[in-house]
Structure 1
Amino acid sequence: MMDEILIQALSGLSRGMVLFVVASGLTLIFGTMRIANFAHGSFYMLAAFLTYSVATMVGDRTWGFLAALCLAPPIVAGVGALIEWGLLKRIATRPHQYQLILTYAITLIVADGIKMLWGSDYRTVARPAGLDGAITILDMPFPTYNAMLILVGVLIAVGLHLLLTRTRFGKTIRAAVADGEMIGALGVNVQRLFTGVFALGAGLAGLGGVLAAPVGSVSLGIDSSIIIESFAVIIIGGVGNVMGALIGAVLIGVVHAVGILFVPKLAIAFVFIALCAVLLIRPQGLLGRNT
């Protein structure tokens, strides 16, 4: 029984790592720009469909996946930059509800655009050769691709930590999370920063979409589920805190996966029970700051 729990927890960890990649982009946008970007899930879904198209055009499942990995996140990041520059910055001084309504409208537009281009059928993306088997952990099989997701999630977490702590761009983002008005007064081009942060966040959502495509179906509606979980992650971890997003994503992934093993019908409820517990005990999130 303990072997099964461990494998199930590792499966939840791999899912949590994909969720972390997506949610880390959302928490950067939310923490820096104070925008609850409902379109973030649309970037994830768009990247998943782009992965399907690129993989189909290339033909070879390994090279197709690698091509999608190189192409989809930058394309989605570019779409995000255009949305921020062309739409969001024009209503930046208006009340926040305008931004909420606009980002929600973008989700509807993207969904309809995807439906026009790809249709409403379910799509699948084959796992790369060499990652479609399983490794043995305590005499039990564990998918190799899922193990790769855990490794990639750790590398992304380390990379983001270094970006935010060792580069000028990252330090400026952290300063903006702490006090956005102050960095503007110090001469930082806030608009350019916002565009860069939004593009980075969209690119991370796109990367998550590429990574998730081979482990599930690519279909309309996957944006809704990922955005709900992503908001839960940043609330649990603390707004604007990438390491908090990592902890929140791992917690949600593992709790959901282990919950499926014991009480399948209530598995998703355990996620929101954990969310409610954090809100009651530590409203600012596990690693969030008191305001």
Structure 2
Amino acid sequence: MNDLIQPETLLRQLNTVQIFEVGAKTAQPIQAEKASALYKHAHIPTAQYVDLNQDFCNLRTALEYQYPNKTEMLDSLKKFQVDWHKPIVIYDRENHIWAARLFWILKAFGHPQVQVLHGGFKAWQQQNLSVSDQIKKPIASFNVAALTFDSTYFADINDVKNVVVGHSNVQLLNVLRAEVFRGDELRYSRAGHIPKSINIPFAQFLDENGKFKASIFNFVAQFGLDLNREIIVYCGSGITASGAALALRQAQATSIKIYDGSMSEWSADPDLPLQIMV
């Protein structure tokens, strides 16, 4: 199954798939309220609204948006009455990164049929497809057998440390804006980037319409990224990295992991090295 689904294809499948809109920038109360209001005003018919600051995340850590444990995952699946045997389509309103995050979590927990709407809600609207302001209440359809977690979808801080000290030849990919990567702009506890990182800002994975570029394989090679070697992707807290990871899957990258803690975790430890470009 292709990771991406086109609006016209989703239109034909509306009655046979589970649809989720993932709200953007939900860590800030004002932004969370705005994202929820946009959904309530108009969304793809039958879509349920997911807030990744509350659902499908680890609520036991101070770090934002970390992947859930099995209990938390089951709680979210029950909340939305997910049928594990029914296809899932996810979309957002912000360049795929939020939809990609939920996609990555569902794949890590073994869902066999999950896709992201290519172009998101914007692409749906551009084709003048129907929208709804009806809030869908979950129908009693929860059906999940034994839940498994594939840890190869994620990297932890020790995996990254091994790269930095030379014990691993895995590639580190930083997808933050160039200003943040260089250290010109302070976004986290300390400025700069993790040593040995390649920087490809996430926006460069997208075309002028906000869709993933068709020629990602050739494009990333210009930055020295080898898609035939393992890649650990990081950003600030794992969200933008999820968008890049989904893009790299479209280019058939061999092995992709997301460092969930990303700069939020790494920069908070003063004993860990950061590089600043001068």
Q: TM-score range by the shorter chain?
A: under 0.3
Instruction: Give the TM-score taking structure 2 as reference length.
Output: 0.24
The structure with the largest strand share of the pair is 2
Instruction: Give the TM-score taking structure 1 as reference length.
Output: 0.23
The structure with the largest helix share of the pair is 1
Structure with bigger RCO (C-alpha 8 Å, 6+ apart): 1
